[in-house]
Amino acid sequence: MNDKIAQIIDVGKWVMDKGLTWGTSGNISARENDTIYITGSGTVLGNLSSDDIVVCTMEGEVISGSRKPSKELAMHLAVYRSRKDVGAILHASPFYSTMYACSDVDLKTNLFIEAMYYTESVATIPYHHAGSLGLAAAVKGVCEKARVIFMENHGVLVYDTSLAECQNMLEITENVCKMNILANVGHISLKEVSPHQVSDFLANNYYKKRSSHK
């Protein structure tokens, strides 16, 4: 089995086991040179097999696979075409992240070390129908400046150099949203790390170094 296909299957099971999506919600892709591996339309992330993965070109042409690619293919391609550094994309509907995407809660992200790193650059886009060209265009419009995109009344999109980094980013994002929402419900004031300390933390690679895509 191709390594990318095996990784996507493993990540799909991890997403479902962690309760970070439900039903047929969510899709996963990985890039290998100019080839894209993406979950098929209507698949359940926790029950993927090699037959559920479709291989496409950067133009969206299907190279191999018995299923139709995810209807969100255009959204994935929009990121890959804009970001040469991105090697994998994960779209899911974690409960608290989706609740945030359906609310007007102000999101505080500079709360702890992993959050400062993985949610350093976050964007939110208005609602567009899943699989629509409007959604792909909206993602394209912000993906250069973010690594986490909240899609209003839809879910969350994360992307990075590898699927492993996407897993970290999705889980940290979900915990950040959970902290914000529970604090809001409990009338708890979350205290963020100061902007100066955040800048110093990121600039001096106190967590780990992330290369620029520019």
Task: Write the pLDDT tens digit of every residue in 140-167.
Answer: 999 999 999 999 999 999 999 999 999 9
**pLDDT tens figures, 94-131:** 999 999 999 998 999 999 999 999 999 999 999 999 99
Which domains are present in the chain?
3-203 (3.40.225.10)
Q: pLDDT tens for residues 176-190?
A: 999 999 999 999 999
d(CA 137, CA 140): 5
Collect all residues with Cβ–Cβ distance below 8 Å to 94 and sequence separation of at least 6: 19, 20, 21, 155, 156, 170, 173, 174, 177
For residue 65, name the pLDDT band (cuts at 50, 70, 90).
Answer: confident
- Rounded to whole angstroms, the Cα distance separating 52 from 50 reads 5
Tell me what pLDDT residue 205 has: 79
Alpha-carbon gap, residue 29 to 142, rounded angstroms: 19
Active site residues: 72
The kind and range of the H/E element at 197 are helix 195-203
Using 50, 70 and 90 to split pLDDT, how confident is the model at 214? very low
pLDDT level of residue 209 (50, 70, 90 thresholds): confident
Using a 10 angstrom Cβ sphere, with 0-12 exposed, 13-18 middle and 19 or more buried, the burial of residue 183 is middle
Q: What is the pLDDT of residue 207?
A: 82
The 10 Å Cβ neighbour count of residue 152 is 15
Q: Which residues of 99-109 are buried (b: 16+ CB within 10 A; e: fewer)?
A: ebbeeeeebbb
Judged by phi (left if over 0) then psi (alpha if -120 to 50, else beta), residue 24 lies in: alpha
Question: What three-state secondary structure class fits 13?
Answer: helix
Structure confidence at residue 213 as a pLDDT band (50, 70, 90): low
Q: What is the rounded average pLDDT for all residues in the chain?
A: 94
